[in-house]
Amino acid sequence: MVGEVLSTAFPVWVALGCFFGLVRPNSFNWVQPQMIIFGITITMLGMGMTLTFDDLRGALVMPKELLAGTASNIVTYLARGNVALSVLMTAASTLAAVVMTLLPLHLTYCFLSC
């Protein structure tokens, strides 16, 4: 019950956090970069734990357009959208980003060294 109320009011918590950060930015000086990484990791783990193999199979069979990223996964979950597809596409775009970032560098190196 409490978790449902907290998750339903998620946009309110985000808005309050943003407002408080704008009004009193020094209040967030205690947040270290490692804490942000840990928070994102816990968020993604929590989103992934809500999935079943049937969810993943359904996402692969019936893909649609979607946003990708940690925040969009949360919003997809709150909107009762296709979380499996959102998580799969986030993972795929993250892996593709590694290749697509290094590929132009490699091609540039090959072009300039030949």
* Residue-wise pLDDT tens digits, 39-76: 878 877 777 777 788 877 776 666 665 555 667 777 78
Q: What is the rounded distance in angstroms from the CA atom of residue 74 to the CA atom of residue 41? A: 13
Q: What is the mean pLDDT of residues 16-44?
A: 85
Q: What is the rounded distance in angstroms from the CA atom of residue 57 to the CA atom of residue 20? A: 41
Which of 36, 39, 53 is CA-nearest to residue 88?
A: 53
pLDDT single digits (tens) 79-88: 888 888 888 8
Looking up tokens 């190196």, which residue turns up?
109
Q: How many CB atoms lie within 10 A of CB 78?
A: 13
- Write the CB contacts of 59 (distance below 8 Å, at least 6 apart in sequence): 82, 84, 85, 88
The two three-digit tokens of residue 45, written as one number: 């783990």
- Give pTM, 2 decimals: 0.40
How far, rounded to the nearest angstrom, does the alpha carbon of residue 73 sit from its chain's CA centroid? 5
| Average pLDDT score over the chain | 80
